[in-house]
Amino acid sequence: MKIKNILISQNAPEDFERSPYSELKRKYSINIDFYKFFRINSTTAIDFRKTHINILEYEAVVFSSTNTIDNFFELCKDMRIEMPESMRYYCATESIALYLQKYVTYRKRRVFAAKDANPESFHDLLVKNKQFSMLVPCSQDGIPPQLEEVLKDNGIKYAQAVVFKITPANLAQDVDIDKYDMIVFFSPNGVKSLLTNFPDFEQGDKAFAALGKAASQAIEEAGWTVHATAPTKETPSITDALDNFLKEHATRRR
């Protein structure tokens, strides 16, 4: 298995030359292309009102991604809802909590983050605060089954709020999928998009990399093999995982 062309299934970084991907490209003389495999469409205020969910009835909001944060506050803006200072925010990771600063002033709000990136840590945080009613913004696919199980089993009052919808990008039209020796996935939605666009797709000798357990699981459920994963102790980032894999499988190394 030799790797020359890699497809990253997300948008290119704003400053590619300063990104870890640029170093990989230089180090291994590879070609790296970026194309986000799916599109995110915000829920409109008109559609959200049809759900009869009153955001301000809840004492806490649960965030598992920055996409969810952006779309939730965009919806609040459209609905002219101002979040009260008493609202509590529970975040799956510290980086998500920090991202909240885009919308929330820390000194006036209550923001809590899981101690580490493991889902169990996030679930423990929610269980410790189960006395609060929680609103869980999500996509049309709903919240992860494991999270829903934790909320139900611990008697937490909660509601799912669909704040965005995910649709596959037009890969069949825009991407020459046969060109690439390796594809990097970041979520199950990327895997789903590949299957939607290329229903007869076979992995063959292509290498797959995945960031996160959900993406890895989606690849395996499709009957494919994952060759590089992150985060792990050895490879905390996806670029670390790629670097480790390319040491043996790149066509060249400078």
pTM for this prediction: 0.78
Of 166, 182, 197, the one marking the end of a domain is 166
Q: How far is CA 32 from CA 28, 75, 242, 245, in A?
A: 11, 35, 12, 15
Q: State the total domains in the chain.
A: 2
- The length of the chain in residues reads 254
Please, which residues have CB within 8 angstroms of residue 158's CB and are 6 or more apart in sequence?
Answer: 62, 133, 134, 135, 136, 151
d(CA 75, CA 237): 31
Tell me how crowded residue 199 is: count the other CB atoms within 10 A of its CB. 8
Q: Do 49 and 154 have their domain in common?
A: yes
Q: Do 70 and 107 have their domain in common?
A: yes
Residue 212: the pLDDT is: 86
Of 166, 184, 212, the one marking the end of a domain is 166
d(CA 243, CA 127): 38
- Tracing tokens 């509601």 back to the chain, one arrives at 159
The residue type of 138 is C
- 254 in a structural domain: no
CATH number for the domain including 55? 3.40.50.10090
At 55-103, the pLDDT tens digits run 999 999 999 989 999 999 999 999 999 999 999 999 998 989 999 999 9
Q: Do 73 and 96 have their domain in common?
A: yes
At 189-229, the pLDDT tens digits run 999 999 999 999 999 999 999 998 889 999 999 999 999 99
Q: Please list, residue by residue across 109-146, b when 16 or more beta carbons sit within 10 angstroms of its beta carbon and e when fewer do.
A: bebebbeeeebeebbebbeebeeeebbbbbbeeebeee
Q: Do 140 and 57 have their domain in common?
A: yes
d(CA 57, CA 190): 34
Range of the domain at 126: 41-166
